Amino acid sequence: MKMNFPDPSEFSGDEKLEVFNPSELPLPFDEADIHSAMSEIEKNEEISYQAVEIVFVDEPGIVEINKEHLQRDYITDIITFRYDEDPSNQHIEGTLYCCAPRISEQSKEFEASESTEFLRVMIHGLIHLIGYDDQTEADKNRMTELENLYLDKISQA
């Protein structure tokens, strides 16, 4: 079964963030919180998000993306694609593919609210877009610190 995903060339350009939900599962977060997180990251990291799509897919959808683009055959919570590969470019464009059912499961595993876990995963993807990686334990710890920082900042807003 071939799924159709949003085409980056169809980005409306009116907003720097667009959210798509082909999974049709309920999304337990306020989109304003993602805008706040983006603003905090832009300010603290001295970058600018120009165009970011967040696409919520189901488990077969994330597996399809994982196989097609990363040659991996498993379910994950998020896959992040930056449109360019120039680390000096501070005007970021990209797509975050989030697996809504997996994120819901993780919220139970981590004893977090669904809203918090969805926000954490999206912040994780936004941080990936600006160049942070999580391949080593030290890198994972740094990303977790940043996720916590931005979650705290938007909860205080």
Beta strands in 78-155 (DSSP E): 78-82, 91-99
What one-character DSSP code corresponds to residue 75?
Answer: -
pLDDT over 70 (residue 157): no
What is the token pair recorded at 101?
Answer: 């059912």
Q: d(Cα 101, Cα 20) in Å, to the nearest integer?
A: 15
Strand partners, 96: 54, 80
The confidence score (pLDDT) of residue 74 equals 94
Q: Where are the domains of the chain?
A: 8-156
The confidence score (pLDDT) of residue 10 equals 52
CATH fold for domain 8-156: Collagenase (Catalytic Domain) (3.40.390)
Report in angstroms the alpha-carbon separations of 7 from 20, 34, 45, 103.
11, 21, 27, 23
Q: What is the pLDDT of residues 68-112, one digit of tens each?
A: 999 999 999 999 999 998 888 989 999 999 999 999 999 999 999
Q: Which of the four pLDDT bands, split at 50, 70 and 90, describes residue 27?
A: very high
pLDDT over 90 (residue 59): yes
